[in-house]
Amino acid sequence: MDMIAEKISAEEIANNAINDFSRHLCVGKTKPIHQRCSIPSSKPETQRGIIVASLADGVSYIHNDLRCLETQTMKNVMRALGAEITDHDGYLEIKGIGGKINYNNQILDCLGSGLVFRTATALACTSDTPIIVTGDASLRPRVMKPLFDALESLGARLSCLAEPGKAPVVSWDGNLQGGKVELAGDISSQFITALMFVAPLTPKGIHISVHNHLLSRSYIEQTAHFMQLAGIELVYNDTMTEIQVYPGHYKPINVTLAGDMTSASYFLAMCTLFQGEYLLDNMPFHSMQGERYFLDVVEALGVRLAFDADTNQLRLTNPNRELVGDYHFDVSNCPNIIPTLAALGAFVNGEFKVTGGSITRLHKSNRIKAMVSELKRLQVNIETIYRDDIEDGFVIKGKSSHLGGETLSSWGDHRVFMSLFVASLKMEKPNLIDGFRDVICSFPDFFKQVENLTGVCYE
């Protein structure tokens, strides 16, 4: 088989190449033969930067932004609402709308991005003209009702056009007044983020009270950080369960973004599975991203880390011929690394337990169920851990080698695909994995960086 040389382009996505499950990637046993690769910029930081810059009155600059399908979708929606966004080499220039929605085309297509849909729905509720907000087949089944209910309690008039509580939805007018609202914290932090972003555009502002256990808190902290950079006044308690956002005007920002810690997790896992010394570029020394927790994971497994804050480089030294020990990791603040941890844990000789991931059942796939199912197909000893009858994590009794030689499903989820890819690099026989074009959602250069580190990538 020939090594993949082709790039997965935005044009292919437009031609519906994404989710082409008739094509599989063959991923076989290897060990990293190179020592260096680069981590892409942060997706959540890029998306939040685009939002506040688009709502600002003036011109903003966002440096080291991520270019992927979901950030492109965010830009397209913000352009549709009136922002002028120019892609330069290494940065974005954004002339904002000053908080005034100017949209006459009626339909906003958010494709498969939950954050884009939820934010666009909230912003649509400030428009005097009706706006339909929709998405693709992967987004329409996802839970939206808590956000719709919250917006309606604050004055919005919404109607679901298909299944109740799901996309697509129409906002009929700009009657969103603000006020007090309650939201569950264990379904999606994006509901809270969407309300925070729209709050300054309302006459009253919005006070959000979060009940149940708050998950993915770091994403709400990132939202607050970018809003404060843009001059918005907000206050919150230590647990982020009481958030008050006041009416105000977004100001332009000039910001340089960090590397993406979820994307970094795949390469941190590779470096942990194979003995050697490695260098990762564009790694943030300081980061608000909860997924930075993965660095604690690899250190616990015996990998030595050395940061160079001046160059944003991380040097990893892995002295381990095999991984041994019993571990328990709580991912309630960083659920996106659940699939990567499952891939890594399969090769740890001992009991490898991960909990706190219940929110991932509502992501692009049920990620715990997906990884347990596919790793069981590979004869990995993995069992689901439940909390209140909901998948919350898993426990693995791993070993240093697995046979492989199976055909695996990515479940239509780019993070499941990349995690199964990592696991397959350590299998005795190659695996076939579908959905490989989905990496464009968050990490278009994934295969290029894989080739930099391992030298293998086959179709």
pLDDT at 30 over 90: no
**Annotation: binding site for 3-phosphoshikimate:** 43, 48, 188-190, 216, 363
H helices present in 312-424, as ranges: 338-345, 367-377, 414-424
Instruction: Provide the pLDDT confidence category of residue 183 given band limits of 50, 70 and 90.
Output: very high
Nearest to 252 by CA among 50, 87, 76, 101: 50
pLDDT digits (tens, 9 = 90+) for 57-80: 999 999 999 999 999 999 999 999
Which regions of 297-411 does DSSP assign to beta strands (E)?
304-308, 313-318, 323-324, 327-330, 348-355, 382-387, 390-398, 402-404, 407-408
Beta strand 431-434 pairing with 24-27: antiparallel
In which element (H, E) is residue 267 found? helix 261-273
pLDDT in tens, 130-176: 999 999 999 999 999 999 999 999 999 999 999 999 999 999 999 99
Give 223-262 pLDDT, tens digit per residue.
999 999 999 999 999 999 999 999 999 999 999 999 999 9
Q: Strand pairing of 242-245 and 276-281?
A: unpaired
- Per-residue exposure over 299-330, b if at least 16 CB sit within 10 Å of its own CB, e if not: eebebebeeeeeebbbbbebeeeebeeebebe
Q: Can you tell me the mean pLDDT for 118-138?
A: 96
Does position 99 have pLDDT exceeding 80, yes or no? Answer: yes
CA–CA distances in Å: residue 389 to residues 49, 64, 182, 385: 37, 42, 24, 9
Query: Element (H or E) spanning 181, and its range?
Result: strand 179-184
pTM of the model: 0.93
Output the known binding site for phosphoenolpyruvate. 43, 114, 142, 190, 367, 415
Model confidence at 11: pLDDT above 70? no
Percent of the chain at pLDDT above 90?
88
All domains of the chain in start order, with CATH: 10-40+260-453 (3.65.10.10), 43-256 (3.65.10.10)
Predicted confidence at residue 457, as pLDDT, reads 57
| Cβ atoms of 133 and 108 closer than 8 Å | yes
CA–CA gap between residue 308 and residue 413 (Å, rounded): 33
Residue scoring higher pLDDT (19 or 212)? 212
* pLDDT, averaged across the chain: 93
State the average pLDDT over residues 290-316.
96
Half-sphere exposure of 42 (CA within 13 A, CB side): 26
Binding residues: 43, 48, 114, 142, 188-190, 216, 363, 367, 415
Residue 387: what are its φ and ψ, rounded to 5°?
A: -130, 120
What is the rounded (10 degree) CA torsion for 368, 373, 377, 380? 40
Residue 197 has, within 13 A of its CA and on its CB side, a CA count of 32
Segment among 17-21, 62-66, 404-408, 423-427 with least mean pLDDT: 17-21
